[in-house]
Amino acid sequence: MINRIVIGSDHAGYELKLKIIEHLEDQGIAVTDVGTYSAESCDYPVFADALCKRIQLGDFERGILVCGTGIGMSIAANKHSGIRAACCSDTYSARLTREHNDANVLCFGARVIGEGLACDLADIFVSTEYMGGKHARRVQMLDELMK
C-alpha cells in the first residue's frame, strides 16, 4: 500500500475530489492536490498534465484524476510518457488495472459514479500491488509504444 498520492480534477470532478481527499487522509495517506481548486469551469488537460508531470518527476508513484466521465482525463494522461492511466467505474477493473497493467493513474467520472464507489476505487488503487510475472512483458510492450 502506498502512503502518499497526487490527485487532480476539473470543475466537474471538484466536489468528488474533495471527498476522496478526505477519505484517503482519514486513512493516513498524504494527498497532494494539483487543482482545480473550485467548481468554476476549467480545462481538464491542464490538471492531467500537472499530475502526470509529478509522477514523471518521481515525486509520486500513483495519482487519481477526476472529471465528468473520467474519459477526458484518461486520454490526456495517456499522452504522457511513462503514464498508464485507466478509466474505471467498477472495483474489478480497478484491481486488475493495478495487478495486470501496473496502472499508475486512476481516472473516473463524477457524473458516472457516486462517492461510495469512488472511495472504494481509490482504496483498491492505493492498496493493490502490481503482480509482474507474465504481465511484465506486456507492460514493457506498452512502454515501448510510447517511444
Alpha-carbon gap, residue 12 to 62, rounded angstroms:
21
67 is catalytic: yes
Catalytic residue among 52, 67, 107, 119: 67
Cell numbers of 100, please? Answer: 495486470
How many CA atoms does the CB half-sphere of 8 hold within 13 Å?
28
80 is catalytic: no
Would you please indicate which residues are annotated as catalytic (active-site) residues? 67, 100
